[in-house]
Amino acid sequence: MSAVASPAISILNALVREGVKIRHDCGGKAVCGTCRIRVDGAGLSPVGERERIRLDAVGAAPGERLACQSYARKDIEIELVIPT
């Protein structure tokens, strides 16, 4: 499965647009932390303060990002993280 993303659209929106079932309880506002993905960070936008706070709050592992706050800068491969 592949999805087309760009710096103008979040990874979450790109995945949803392509029909990928990804949990995002807060609707993409970085409040819930359920849209976590695992990716090589080199291809994504930098982590912002709001995202960093939420990742810390949910105990995210290194390399995890919020799809709602991440924007692709180049071709990347992602793995969905299923929240527990």
Q: Judge residue 82's burial from the number of C-beta atoms within 10 Å of its C-beta, 0-12 exposed, 13-18 middle, 19 or more buried.
A: exposed
Checking if the pLDDT of 37 tops 90, the result is yes
Report percent pLDDT > 90 for the chain: 74
CATH architecture of 11-80: Roll (3.10)
pTM of the model: 0.90
User: What pLDDT does 40 receive?
Assistant: 72
| Stretch among 9-18, 37-46, 48-57 having the lowest mean pLDDT | 37-46
